[in-house]
Amino acid sequence: MSRTAQDDSLNGQVVVVTGSSSGIGAAIARRGAQLGATVVVNSSRSVEAGEALAAELHGASYCQADVGSEEGRERLIRYTLEEHGRLDHLVNNAARTQVIPHAELERLTTEVWRDIFELNLFATYQMTLLALPHLRRSGRGSVLNITSLAGIRQLGSSIPYAVSKAALNHLTQLLAKQVGPEVRVNAVAPGLIETPWTADWTAQHEAISRSAPLRRTGRPEDVAHAAVALLTNGYTTGAVLLVDGGVGLTA
Ligand X SMILES: NC(=O)c1ccc[n+]([C@@H]2O[C@H](COP(=O)([O-])OP(=O)(O)OC[C@H]3O[C@@H](n4cnc5c(N)ncnc54)[C@H](OP(=O)(O)O)[C@@H]3O)[C@@H](O)[C@H]2O)c1
User: Contact positions toward ligand X, by CB under 6 A?
Assistant: 18-25, 42-46, 66-68, 93-96, 119, 146, 148, 190, 192-193, 195-198
Of 66 and 88, nearer to ligand X (C-beta) is 66
Of 7 and 125, nearer to ligand X (C-beta) is 125
- Using DSSP, state whether 97 is helix, strand or coil: coil
What is the nearest approach in angstroms of ligand X to the Cβ of residue 166?
12
Query: Which is catalytic among the residues 62, 79, 125, 161?
Result: 161
Of 140 and 191, nearer to ligand X (C-beta) is 191
Distances (CA, A) of 241 to 93, 189, 251: 15, 6, 17
Contact partners, residue 33, CB within 8 Å, separation at least 6: 39, 57, 58, 59, 60
φ/ψ of residue 152, rounded to 5: -120, -45
Instruction: Identify whether 235 is a catalytic site residue.
Output: no
Using CB atoms, what's the residue nearest to ligand X? 23
What is the nearest approach in angstroms of ligand X to the Cβ of residue 238?
19
Within 40-99, residue ranges assigned H as helices are: 47-56, 70-84
What is the nearest approach in angstroms of ligand X to the Cβ of residue 206?
14
Of 190 and 245, nearer to ligand X (C-beta) is 190
Which residues in 130-236 belong to E strands, given as ranges?
142-146, 184-190
The closest of 4, 28, 38, 34 to 140, measured between CA atoms, is 4
Cβ(47)–Cβ(73) below 8 Å: no
How far apart are the C-alpha atoms of 21 and 91, rounded to whole Å? Answer: 13
What is the nearest approach in angstroms of ligand X to the Cβ of residue 48?
10
Residues noted as catalytic: 161
